[in-house]
A and B are shown apart, each in its own frame.
Chain A
Amino acid sequence: MAQMETLLQVVLRKENIKTDEVSIVSEILNVWTSFVSFEPSLLKDLYANTGANPEQPAVNKGDSKFVQVLIDQGLLGENSDMRDSFKEALLFVCQNIRQTSLPTPPAFFFLQVLLGKLDFMTKVNPSNTLQYFELFSSLTKSYFKKMADAEIFGQPMAKLFDEIQLLHQVLSLIENYESKENKANSEFCDNTLVGLLNLATEFLSGANEDKKSEIVFQQNQAN
């Protein structure tokens, strides 16, 4: 793990990343996803210093170095192909590893990491934020689906966050956000603005699903 972190840092430290270097990073990420899929306990290194467990969900203050590499330098990096590679790798890990021996599933861990960066995202160049918001949106969707399924099957899970509170946080970010779009250039799309709008929709949708599954659960109980 440490070697992979070092390799990634060496490439990501460069200012102008070339196509073959993107391929190198992509290969390193492939090796990493293969390793952690085979041995999910390797992810414990990632969780170190983040407090990523249900009792102490706070993240970001002490993100492990590797998390910083994956998110700050990779997912939010300057090179678009590179960001795509990091997004795909993280999505693969989140969707395919459901190891119960870990303090929290990777999908929940990374959801919390991304959530912790939300306020900061309005300060990032919107050209670099597409992959962050796409990953966040995917993880949020699957989180709400898992919550709703668990509720329907009578095994409710502890919530990672209050979706209505988050909705208000996102709406407040939208309200205070200075859009980079303008009438003169309607071709330009502000990925941060779109990402925030989509996230607000996801949280609302999750809140509505929550209500629906509660009703279904109550109906099942009554029958």
Chain B
Amino acid sequence: MKARLLRLRLPRQHAPATRINWTQLWRLLLPLLVVGGLFLCAIWPWIPGTRGPAVRTVVLYGFSILGEVMNEAVFPAFQAEWQVRTGEQVEFVDAFAGSGTITNQMILGVPAEVAILSLELDALRLVDAGVLAGRTWHGLPHGGVLNRTPFIILVRPGNPRAIRDFADLTRPGVGVVHPDPLTSGGAQWALLAEYHSVRMVGGTDGEALLQLRGVWQNVVAQASSARAVRTQFESGFGDALITYEQEVLSDRWRGRLDGEIVYPESTIFSEHIVVVLDRNIAPEQRDLVDAFVAFLWSETAQRLFVDYGFRSVDEALNTGNPDFGVIPHPFTVADLGGWEQAKAQIVDGIWRDQVLPSIGPGGTP
């Protein structure tokens, strides 16, 4: 074996005049070239000298439906403004997932500087875990509420099941696709809408419970976030999806809405909360992060939110979007005594303790 190896090598080293076996050499080199080339290609941006000028970064975690408006509109607008103001380039490092998911990630220590949560409940969890020093978002404009959107029902084109309100989702045979309340903020908002909308139009607590149970008996599929559940609905699951109005409007504008919006008689307006994670912000980052957070409530940013289907905290801006539907009896979580009370009484007290045990696996009673 060794002799063979020697025979193969010696002529190449000591007698270059002899014929080189090109095919063999090529076959040996090709894999090395490909692997080497791949490696070079992979490492290219990190080779010194190939990088552009140094940029400052902001690390932002956001709940699922914010991805587009932030990446396509708000970040570029702030980058342009900051460049004009200071001459510095800003890069946004971001992650978008279910509100509960990103909250858990922050509790486990991801280096988020700013986060936008789907509901205050997740912000309260951050306080409990010691990530936030207190209810710091109350010190931000509008008590930390960035924007709102009502919860609506999305049905298949032509509304073949004749769904007009949440009550119609309790009819036998209607398949409901719902985000998972364990990880999705949107799911918790939806729970409140399914329950309290009955009481808003004069129903009793008992009737509200019946409606919530009826909807949950018809849940045929769940996913971890509002985004994921919409993808599930788009791939053909179920007859109705309870989701943010914004989701559906942005789909419609992009020409890929395959369904119709049904506005309930009464529904909840979600309120999305901005939190600033002071412990993750280095002193030299402070000015940039503060400027960005302030920018979120500027008219420029709020108008962008309206363009992307969110309802602004500034009511005057909301007339700028003719696609916003009318809801006769809207409510917010404040009408339920705030999130802590709503969580204890409705999400835990009614949904978890009374509704879930009464529906068996597969959503059948």
A binds B: no
Q: Which residues of A contact B (CB under 8 A)?
A: none
Q: Which residues of B contact A (CB under 8 A)?
A: none
